[in-house]
Structure 1
Amino acid sequence: MESLSGKPQQRLSVLSFEQVQRLSDMMDEVVSIHGRGNFPTLEVRLRDLVAVVRSKLEADMPVRDIRLNGGGASHVLASDPQPYNDLDLIFGVELSAPRNFERVKAAVLGSLMDLLPEGVSRKRITTCSLKEAYVSKMVKVNHDGDRWSLISLGNSRGHKNVELKFVDTMRRPFEFSVDSFQIVLDSLLLFYECSDLPISENFYPTVVGESVYGDFQEALYHLQKKLIATRCPEEIRGGGLLKYCNLLVRNYRPARSDMKALERYMCSRFFIDFPDIGQQRAKLQSYLTNHFVGRAEEALRYRYLLLLRRVVEQSTVCLMGHERRQTLQLIEQLAGLVLSQEQALQGRMQGLQGGPQAQGPTALVYTQHGYFYAPVIPSYTACSCSCNAPAGWMAACSS
């Protein structure tokens, strides 16, 4: 990767051919947008989806640029494959006029209408029914210097959702350095329009990546070495606490020795944003559903909850004793539920394979810090251990 200048803290960098090739492969992937009820699954290349949405937007407003964000951008930039749950796209648009939020929504729903397969009658299909069928989440933010909206496409668990974000201004566009990458797609999209030749090592567009963390090379080093670093975690909605524990369970480690102080900031902001135990339960359940997709990912949920419990127990200083105990008990309950689901699934799989199924409930093991749920190991199993928005929008929430 070539730096655009020798200046320290350079935010931008030009992608290498290998990175551009990975990006092009991703844009050529066919994404499946699953519909509810009798609505068909929309099969479309990512590059074609972007082109349709951009065309609809430009009929009513200019588009500054289009960027790939999140795990997809990290996958393109990293030397080793990086797992990602969603495809995150950012459309830079002007949203100072309130009606532009509705224009954004109309552009996306109009794109879905255009992408319906041939043979599907469009006469009785309304934008409202399209929203119910294909949109899993709509968020609108227009306060305190933030002006952006999010429309998430896809309603099938176990498949990647397409997250379309329309951004005018966003005060805090990242949580940690490893998720701070944005890749500007405009030059690649222009290449697709102007050239019939495939990308090759001697003929490919110049594509620029940016780290909104501030220092591209430092952020890329953190990604390659699986290091956790952030700035001003108190500015992140929810404090980045859930994402931080997600990184820990994937064997990332803190880049700095003073991470305990940052953990306290994360915990404090989490409980400021989600003060009620009901809000905490809803947020945790939503996070588990959206960020642990697929069999391999679901297997991490129990370890994740134990890590979260440890961080909350050790680094929470802003709660009364009974409030802290309530939250710890909530995490323990969710851990028990997750583990019992795991055992039930393993039992069904053993039954399908003709083996004996596990019997009996999950065991409770008491430690000095509280109850933990331990898996039941049947006697026949050898132990393997080694010891206020318009209708259709919802209030902003962290992903």
Structure 2
Amino acid sequence: MDHSDEEVIVHGECEKVSEENPELGVGRFNVLSWDQVRRLDEVLTEAVPVHGRGNFPTLEEVVLDCLLDFLPEGVSKDKMGPQTLKEAYVQKMVKVCNDTDRWSLISLSNNSGKNVELKFVDSLRRQFEFSVDSFQIVLDSLLLFYECSEHAMSERFHPSVLGESMYGDFAAAYAHLLGRLISTRTPEEIRGGGLLKYCNLLVRDFVPASEAEIKTLERYMCSRFFIDFPDLSEQQRKLESYLRNHFIGEEASKYEYLLTLWGVVNESTVCLMGHERRLTLGLITALAFRVLAEQNTIPNTAHVTCYYQPAPYASDFNFSGYYLPSSQPTVTYLPSYSTWLSCS
């Protein structure tokens, strides 16, 4: 489940689970504080509209009661097949089945970008990209509380809820979240290398936790991205999809994001031939100018150098760059350059 604009873990200090229990592992788990449990309860009970043809039940009903009936009252369910529901509500469906990963995902549409994603996992080798998105919350105790308790939740009466960081160190990951720091491990294990998410974090004012390590990590991110998306057409589809899904209502940030991505690819790509890298950089540049055109915005040209290429006939020795009357001696201007020249 993805509630992209919400940070469930927001307040209070985390209470460490006793490390005497070897089953829990050292540092991976924490008991959520009351403020965190209360925020989690607010998120689960908040009605998140899913935009389509009809109403949609609350997030609490979907997650806690596993309701499969998304139709509003009064609609004949007999006439509504799976394809109709898919067209009305589902933004994307993903199914992965290989030697290490077996999982599926259904993303339900929301025009404001707060998509509800339901992920069903049998096995998943890599369960996070960066430390700040590595948190998982075990809802069993909360589900049991909703089912059995006759009293409202309060600071003195609420279930113990267990949180886990798949990053491996809950305290460190929590500190990264509060400090808006970027940290990951072995990005070559992530599909796409985490490159697009990394640039997204940079645009949102996150900074690398370790400047010494980040350049090495960037090279791994770029290498894995181009392994997974080797063709220019695949890269274009992926970038357009990412912009469409992750910048809803934030059109002004798309240009900054593409500039950031251009810089990382330009500086940290070591796995491509020179002409391949230039093609990818050209694609990112074209997308950036398309974004500006869609916004009817003129880019800042303070640090831009304009180049032009002389016409082919300019290299002809018989070509005169100036028109002179025939009564005067003919003077031939011979340009000696054969490449792009600066306008300045």
TM-score (norm 2): 0.80
Distance change in 2, residues 1:6/1:122 (3 Å): closer
Q: State which structure, 1 or 2, has the greater radius of gyration over its C-alpha atoms.
A: 2
1:277 is the counterpart of 2:291: no
Residue 134 (structure 1) aligns with = 89
Residue 32 (structure 2) aligns with = 15
Bigger Cα displacement from structure 2, 128-137 vs 328-337: 128-137
Shift of 1:153: 1.3
Q: Deviations over 1:69-122 (max 9, x none)?
A: xxxxxxxxxxxxxxxxxxxxxxxxxxxxxxxxxxxxxxxxxx0xx231111122
Shift of 1:26: 0.5
Distance change in 2, residues 1:369/1:141 (3 Å): farther
User: Is the 8 Å Cα contact of residues 260 and 315 (structure 1) preserved in structure 2?
Assistant: yes
Residue 253 (structure 2) aligns with = 300
Residue 178 (structure 2) aligns with = 224
Shift of 1:182: 0.6
1:320 is the counterpart of 2:333: no
Quick one: distance in 1 between partners of 2:183 and 2:62?
33
Shift of 1:6: 4.6
User: Is the 8 Å Cα contact of residues 181 and 206 (structure 2) preserved in structure 1?
Assistant: yes
Quick one: distance in 1 between partners of 2:26 and 2:218?
25
Residue 324 (structure 2) aligns with = none
Give me the identity figure in percent: 59
Distance change in 2, residues 1:368/1:317 (3 Å): farther
1:124 is the counterpart of 2:79: yes
User: Is the 8 Å Cα contact of residues 340 and 362 (structure 1) preserved in structure 2?
Assistant: no
Q: CA RMSD in A?
A: 2.1
Bigger Cα displacement from structure 2, 250-259 vs 14-23: 250-259
Q: Secondary structure at the match of 2:49?
A: strand
User: Is the 8 Å Cα contact of residues 192 and 229 (structure 2) preserved in structure 1?
Assistant: yes
Distance change in 2, residues 1:13/1:369 (3 Å): farther
User: Is the 8 Å Cα contact of residues 9 and 216 (structure 1) preserved in structure 2?
Assistant: no
Residue 193 (structure 1) aligns with = 147
1:162 is the counterpart of 2:175: no
Residue 244 (structure 1) aligns with = 198
Distance change in 2, residues 1:363/1:218 (3 Å): closer
Q: How many residues align?
A: 290
Q: Secondary structure at the match of 2:296?
A: helix
Structure 1 letter corresponding to 2:256 = R
Structure 1 letter corresponding to 2:293 = S
Quick one: distance in 2 between partners of 1:188 and 1:287?
34
1:261 is the counterpart of 2:216: yes
Residue 18 (structure 2) aligns with = 5
Structure 2 letter corresponding to 1:335 = A
Q: Which has the higher contact order (CA 8 A, sep 6+)?
A: 1
Q: Deviations over 1:178-213 (max 9, x none)?
A: 100011112111111112322111111110000001
Distance change in 2, residues 1:20/1:157 (3 Å): same
Distance change in 2, residues 1:247/1:203 (3 Å): same
Quick one: distance in 2 between partners of 1:339 and 1:17?
45
Distance change in 2, residues 1:363/1:202 (3 Å): closer
Shift of 1:369: 10
Shift of 1:315: 0.4
Quick one: distance in 2 between partners of 1:254 and 1:122?
51
Q: Where does the alignment leave 5 or more consecutive residues of structure 1 unmatched? A: 56-110, 345-360, 372-399
Residue 330 (structure 1) aligns with = 283
Residue 337 (structure 2) aligns with = none
Q: Secondary structure at the match of 1:137?
A: strand
Quick one: distance in 1 between partners of 2:237 and 2:174?
33
Quick one: distance in 2 between partners of 1:328 and 1:302?
14
State the 4+ residue runs in structure 1 displaced beyond 4 angstroms.
Answer: 6-9, 361-366, 368-371
Shift of 1:159: 3.9
Shift of 1:273: 0.4
Mapping for residues 198-213 of structure 1, pairs under 5 Å: 198-213=152-167
User: Is the 8 Å Cα contact of residues 134 and 165 (structure 2) preserved in structure 1?
Assistant: yes
User: Is the 8 Å Cα contact of residues 47 and 189 (structure 1) preserved in structure 2?
Assistant: no
Distance change in 2, residues 1:370/1:4 (3 Å): farther
Residue 52 (structure 1) aligns with = 65
